[in-house]
């Protein structure tokens, strides 16, 4: 079996392993951008379909744009289908993330870094936990994310945070709070998305700037699904292990055996930067979680 066949086999079994998560009942069932989100900036650069199921954000020399969820959540799973800026997208950043908006903020980030035409998009993930960040990882995706919609998911529970692309786990951050590792577990977060000018750093460290003649730059979002505990001021309710909070059940406390194989495949073939391997950045004092199990 050749490399491509192995890759497709892994992705197929990864899809099968995640079906049970996808079919749980949704806490926020509308999947209507007009009902579930509000525009945070530049409404003239936001376009929403008549049925509310799809929304696009535009970046030009005048402005970028963004939106955020009307509600805040503490634990759950968030899925969003995204199609990224096609063609020459160097310097652009499309972000999809959870954020607590507090001084000691918690945040779980997908950041899509545009590139010059013909070069791969880079997906950067990052975490803030109690105000601490510097936990970036970067991968090259195994497909062109500007050609079609793909599903980007965050599973966040008491045990772990799992970043997934089309149900393939690309990153895992375990709850090692008992060992002194910061983990987002008390602050509710809202769901946000934006497109903005990041050409001071996003592409080759800022060497490739936005070519405005290629714009406007448009990213599209659709078919969001929010299976999460809606914040009502009581952390105990969201931390409970019950039928409503399915994501806190024991079966979601670690990766399945199939997910582990997929995860190792991503780590071997697609990771291009891992903060846990950047001794220079941390002066040979890597964060504690770098030496602890991921699953």
Q: What are 228's two structure tokens?
A: 């999460």
- pLDDT value at residue 25: 40
pLDDT at site 241: 81
Q: Give the pLDDT of residue 30.
A: 66
What pLDDT, on a 0 to 100 scale, did the predictor assign at position 242?
86
Q: Verify whether residue 111 is a known catalytic residue.
A: yes
pLDDT at 246: 95
Catalytic position from the list 24, 54, 62, 111 = 111
Per-residue pLDDT of the chain in tens (295 residues, 90 and over written 9)? 444 444 544 454 444 444 334 334 445 556 899 999 999 999 999 999 999 999 999 999 999 999 999 999 999 999 999 999 999 999 999 999 999 988 899 999 999 999 999 899 999 999 999 998 899 999 999 999 999 999 999 999 999 999 999 999 999 999 999 999 999 999 999 999 999 999 999 999 999 999 999 999 999 999 999 999 999 998 889 998 888 999 999 999 999 999 999 999 999 999 999 999 999 999 999 999 999 999 9
Q: What CATH number has the domain spanning 33-291?
A: 2.60.120.200
Q: What is the pLDDT of residue 28?
A: 57
Residue 61, judged by CB atoms within 10 A of its CB (0-12, 13-18, 19+), counts as exposed
Q: Quick one: tokens of 257?
A: 């055996």
* Catalytic member of 107, 136, 137, 241: 107
Residue extents of the structural domains in the chain: 33-291
pTM of the model: 0.91
Distances (CA, A) of 295 to 255, 280, 288: 6, 26, 15
Question: DSSP of 148-215, one letter per residue?
Answer: S-EEEEEEE-SSEEEEEETTEEEEEEE--GGGT-----SS-BEEEEEEEE-TTTTTGGGTS---GGG-
CA 144 to chain CA centroid, Å, is: 17
> Is 107 assigned a catalytic role?
yes
Residue 3: per-residue pLDDT: 44
pLDDT at residue 1 in the model? 42
Tell me what pLDDT residue 29 has. Answer: 58
Q: How many CB atoms lie within 10 A of CB 123?
A: 24
Rounded to the nearest 10°, the torsion over CA 33, 99, 173, 198 is 90
């Amino acid at each position: 079996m050749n490399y491509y066949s192995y890759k497709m086999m892994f992705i197929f079994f990864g899809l099968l392993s995640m079906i049970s998560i996808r079919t749980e009942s949704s806490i926020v069932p509308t999947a209507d951008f007009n009902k579930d989100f509000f525009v945070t900036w530049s409404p003239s650069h936001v376009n929403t379909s008549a049925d509310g199921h799809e929304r696009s954000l535009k970046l030009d020399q005048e402005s970028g744009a963004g939106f955020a969820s009307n509600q805040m959540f503490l634990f759950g799973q968030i899925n969003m289908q995204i199609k990224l800026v096609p063609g020459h997208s160097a310097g652009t950043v499309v972000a999809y993330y959870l954020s607590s908006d507090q001084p000691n903020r918690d945040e779980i980030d997908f950041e899509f870094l545009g590139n010059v035409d013909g070069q791969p998009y880079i997906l950067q993930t990052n975490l803030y936990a109690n105000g601490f960040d510097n936990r970036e990882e970067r991968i090259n995706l195994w497909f062109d994310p500007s050609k079609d919609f793909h599903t980007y998911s965050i599973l966040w529970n008491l045990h772990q945070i799992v970043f997934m692309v089309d149900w393939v786990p690309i990153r895992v951050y375990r709850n090692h709070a008992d060992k002194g590792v910061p983990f987002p577990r008390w602050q509710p977060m809202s769901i946000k998305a934006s497109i903005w000018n990041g050409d001071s750093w996003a592409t080759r460290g800022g060497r490739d700037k936005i070519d405005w003649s290629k714009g406007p730059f448009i990213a599209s979002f659709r078919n969001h699904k929010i299976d999460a505990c809606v914040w009502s001021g009581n952390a105990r309710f969201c931390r409970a292990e019950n039928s409503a909070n399915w994501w806190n059940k024991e079966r979601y406390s670690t990766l399945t055996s199939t997910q582990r194989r997929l995860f190792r495949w991503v780590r071997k073939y697609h990771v291009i930067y891992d903060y846990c391997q950047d001794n220079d950045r941390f002066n040979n004092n890597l964060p504690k979680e770098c030496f602890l199990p991921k699953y």
